[in-house]
Structure 1
Amino acid sequence: MSALSDQLVTFAILAYLVAMISHAVEYALGNARKVPAAAPARELVGAGVGSTGGTVEESATPVPPAGTRADRSTARAELAGRIAAWLTALAAALHLGAVVTRGIAAERMPWGNMYEFVLTVTWIGAAAWLAVLWKQPSLRRLGLFLTLVMVLLLAFAELKLYVQVVPLMPALQSYWFIIHVSTIIFASGIFLLGVVPAVAYLMRAGWEQGKRSFPYTLARRLPAAAGLERLTFTLHAFAFPVFTFAVIAGAIWAEAAWGRAWGWDPKETWAFISWVVYAGYLHARATPSVKRNVATWISVVGFLTMLMNLFGVNFFFTGLHSYAGVN
C-alpha cells in the first residue's frame, strides 16, 4: 500500500501538471484579438418600376464571415478549459487515493509527519477548488494558478519531505490527534485555496486601475476583480472559525499531555500569529474605511505566516511539536 501511495502521488503530480498546461492554453487563447470582419460587398441596385429616380445607386451590404480567427481561438480555449477541469478532477481522485492508501499502509490517520500533512492539506485545497468551480464555472481560469500551487507543493513534498511509513509516535496517540490535526488540516487547505484568488485579485485590481507593468499584465484574462475579492473573503470567513477551533483544541490537548495549555512553543507562537493576522484581515474587510486591496494584502501575509508555521518552524526550530520527520 505504501508503494501504491507513492505511485499515485507521482501520477497525481503529472495530472496536475497536464491540467496546468491545459489551463495555460485556455489562458493564452481565451482573449484572442478579434480579426476585423471582411469589407462589406458592394452591390449594384437599379431603380425599378415605380422608383423615384432612374439612376443606378450603390448600397453596402455586409456579408457575414464564415468563421473568424477569434471565434476559432475562443472555441479552442473553451475546449482546453474543459479538459483542464476534468484533468484536475482526475488528479484530485489520484491524490485522494494516495492519501487513503498511505493511511491504510500506516494503519492510522495519515497525518503523522510533515509529508503526510502536506499531502492531505493540498488535497483539501484541490477538493475545495473543484467545489468552487462547480458552483462558479466562470472562475475556471484561476485553475492555472491553483494547479501550479499543487504541482509545486506536491513535488516539494516528494523530493524533500518524504519519509517511510512509521507507527504514530506515542505522544500523538490520543483522540485529540484526530480532532486537532483534522481541523488544522481542513482550515489550512481552505486558506491555501483562499490565497489564490487573493493574489489574483491584487493583480486584476491593479490592471483595472491602469497598471500595465508585470505582473499586472497577466491579469487581463482573469475574472473581474470584484468577484475574486468576494471569493477571497468567503473562503477566509469559512476557514477562520475552523482554524480557531483547531487552536483551542490544541490548547486543550496540550493541557492534557504536557500539563499546560500554552507554553509559547514555536508552533504555538506561529499559530497564534497566523490567527491574529487572519482575524485582522476579517476585521479590515468588515471596516468600510479600509480599502479592499489593503485587506487582501493582510490575507496574503496570513498565508505566509501559515507557511512559516508549516515549513520554517519544522526546519529551523525545535520544540514540543517536533513531529514533522525532517529534524
Structure 2
Amino acid sequence: MPVNETLSQYSDWSYTTAVAVYVLAMVFFLVEQSFGRKGRAAAERTRERARELVGAGGVPVEAGQVPATPADRPARSRPERIGRMGVALTVLGALLHLSALVLRGLATSRVPWGNMYEYIMAVCFIAVVTWLVVVRKFPVRRLSALVLLPVVILMFVGGTMLYAVAAPVQPALQSYWLVIHVSAAAASSGVFLVPGVASVLYLIRARHDRDPAAFARFGPRLPGADVLDRIAYRTTVFAFPVFTFGVLCGAIWAEAAWGRFWGWDPKETTAFVAWVVYAAYLHSRATAGWRGQRAAVINVVGFAVTVFNLFFVNLVTTGLHSYAGVG
C-alpha cells in the first residue's frame, strides 16, 4: 500500500515535539532535585508538628497520615510544584510520543516497529509509561530526570542517525509474528530500562550509606536503598515473563522462516545471554544471601547486555536479523 506522506510528516513532528517536551520536563525535575531538599525537610517537620497537635487533642493519627483539613495541610513548596509540573509535562510528552507511533502506523498501514527508528521509538515510549506508573506507586519523582536522560538520548540517536523514512517493511517481515514477537521484545526492553537505572542508583546509594564521604553530594538526594531495590525487583519481575515470551515467539518465527528454532545468530545469542542474566538476577534476589548489592550488579549487567543487543548487535554485526534492525 502507498505511504501516506502527510501522516508520516505529522508523526515526525510529534516525535520531535515529544523529545523537546521530555527535555523541558527534565529541566523541571532537575530544579526540584536541586532546590527541593530543604522544602521537603520543612514539610516533613510541619507534618510532624501537625501529628503531635492532633494527637494531643485526642484524635489518633497514624504514622505518615496528613491532617484531613485543608487548612491544616502544609502548603506545597515551589520546588515541589515545579516537580509536579514536570510530571504533567512528561504525561504530555508521552501522549505526543504515542501520537507519533500511531501516526507512523497509520501512514504505513502496519505496526510501527519495522525498523530501528520505530523500534527505539516504541522502546522509549514503554520506558516512559513504566516510569510514570512507578512515580505513581513510589515517592521517587525527583529521580525522573535520571530516567528521562537515557530516553532522550535514545530518541535523539533514533531520530537523527537511525531515522528511516516511512515505507512498507521488507517481504521477510510481512508476518503476523512481527506484531507478536517484536512488540514483546520492545515492551520488555522498555520496562528493563527502569530497573537498570534503579539498580545503578541503588549501588550509589548503598555505597553512600556505607561510606558517607562517597557520593557526598549526590547520595543523600536519592531515595532509600530499599525503595530503589523494590523498584528494580518489581519492574524486572514484570518484564521478564514478557521478554521470555518474546524469545519463544522469535524461535517459532525462526522455524517458520528459516527452518530451525535456534541457529546461534548474534541477535539470538545475545538475547539468550540477557535472558540468563535476568533469570540469575531474579534467582539471586529471591535468595537471602544474594540480595542487595550483588543482585543489583547482576541487574546492571543485564541492562548493559540489553543495550549492547539493541545497538552493537543490530548495527555492527551481521546476521540473519541484520536486514531488519530489530528482532
1:272 aligned partner: 272
Give the corresponding residue for 2:109: 107
Shift of 1:228: 0.9
Aligned 1:178-327 pairs, distance under 5 A: 178-214=179-215, 217-324=217-324
TM-superposed CA distance for 1:168, in Å, is 1.2
Q: Which amino acid in the other structure matches residue 151 of structure 1? A: V
Change (3 A) 1:201 1:163: same
- Tell me the TM-score normalised to structure 1 length: 0.84
Deviation at 1:75, TM superposition (A): 0.7
Q: How far 1:32 sits from its partner (Å)?
A: 2.8
Alignment of 1:21-40 (within 5 A): 21-32=27-38
Structure 2 Cα separation of the partners of residues 278 and 229 of structure 1 = 15
Aligned counterpart, 2:119 = 117
Distance in 1 (alpha carbons) for counterparts of 2:251 and 2:20? 39
Matched letter for residue 12 of structure 2: D
Cα distance between partner residues in 2 of 1:323 and 1:204: 42
Q: Distance in 1 between matches of 2:209 and 2:25?
A: 28
Give the Å deviation of 1:325. Answer: 5.4
Structure 2 Cα separation of the partners of residues 32 and 183 of structure 1: 43
Are 2:171 and 1:165 aligned? no
Contact 2:205 2:220 (8 Å CA) reproduced: yes
Query: In the aligned structure 2, how far is the partner of 1:308 from the partner of 1:231?
Result: 23
Alignment counterpart, residue 12 of structure 1, candidates 18, 31, 41: 18
Structure 1 residue identity aligned to 2:115:
N
Q: In 2, distance between residues paired with 1:25 and 1:126?
A: 20
Q: Which residue of structure 1 aligns with residue 71 of structure 2?
A: none
Distance in 2 of aligned mates of 1:92 and 1:324: 26
1:89 and 2:91 equivalent?
yes
2:207 and 2:214 in contact (8 A); partners too: no
Larger Rg: 1
Distance 2:308 2:81 in 1: 39
CA offsets 1:127-158 (integer angstroms, 9 cap, x no match)? 1111222233x111121111212211111111
Letter in 1 for 2:168: P
SS at match of 1:111: coil
Runs of 5+ unmatched residues, structure 1 = 36-70
Q: Is the 8 A contact 2:266 2:319 kept in 1?
A: yes
Deviation at 1:173, TM superposition (A): 1.1
Percent identity of the aligned residues? 48
Query: Which whole-Å CA distance do the structure 2 matches of 1:325 and 1:263 have between them?
Result: 18
- Deviation at residue 213 of structure 1 after TM alignment: 3.2
Aligned residues between the structures: 288
Amino acid across the alignment from 1:83: M
Match of 1:131 in 2: 133
Report SS of the residue matched to 1:30.
helix
Whole-angstrom CA distance in 1 between matches of 2:307 and 2:214: 28
Q: Distance in 1 between matches of 2:217 and 2:262?
A: 46
Alignment partner of 1:254: what SS?
helix
The one-letter code of the counterpart of 1:150 is V
Distance 2:281 2:9 in 1: 42
- The alpha-carbon deviation at position 322 of structure 1 amounts to 1.1
TM-aligned CA deviation for residue 291 of structure 1: 4.1
Q: For 1:77 and 1:199, how far apart are their aligned partners in 2?
A: 25
- Structure 2 residues not aligned, in runs of 5+: 1-6, 43-73
2:58 maps to what in 1?
none
Q: Contact (CA 8 Å) 1:274, 1:305: kept in 2 or not?
A: yes
Preserved CA contact (<8 Å) 2:315 2:325? no
How far apart are the structure 1 equivalents of 2:250 and 2:185? Answer: 9
Bigger fraction of residues in helix: 2
Cα distance in 2 between the residues matched to 1:154 and 1:176: 25
Q: Which moved more, 1:144-153 or 1:101-110?
A: 144-153
